[in-house]
């Protein structure tokens, strides 16, 4: 299941790369997308890593940024 991670303190492409690298080092999530202010990660198996939120937050904190929220990603699409 995909989740959006809201991140404060990011302001440039270097920040995006730092967060992408920090999340890429984790074995509990797959990085779908990183942009200034957020990341979307996928959990291949939520039941296998009950502490995944703590691990994601710690990795981002270690990279120098703050997680402000983690919530299920909005995967709905609108059609006209």
Domains in the chain with CATH codes:
2-68 (3.30.70.100)
Which is more confidently placed, 47 or 74?
74
Whose CA is closest to 21, among 60, 53, 51, 52? 60
Residue 78 clears pLDDT 60, i.e. is over it = no
Q: How far is it, in rounded angstroms, from Cα 77 to Cα 49?
A: 29
Section 51-76 average pLDDT? 92
């Amino acid at each position: 299941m995909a989740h959006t991670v809201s991140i404060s303190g990011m302001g440039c492409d270097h920040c995006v790369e730092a967060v992408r690298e920090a999340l890429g080092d984790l074995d509990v999530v797959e990085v779908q997308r990183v942009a200034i202010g957020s990341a979307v990660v996928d959990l291949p198996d939520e039941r296998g890593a009950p502490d995944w939120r703590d691990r994601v937050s710690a990795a981002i904190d270690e990279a120098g940024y703050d997680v402000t929220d983690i919530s299920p990603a909005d995967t709905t699409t609108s059609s006209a």
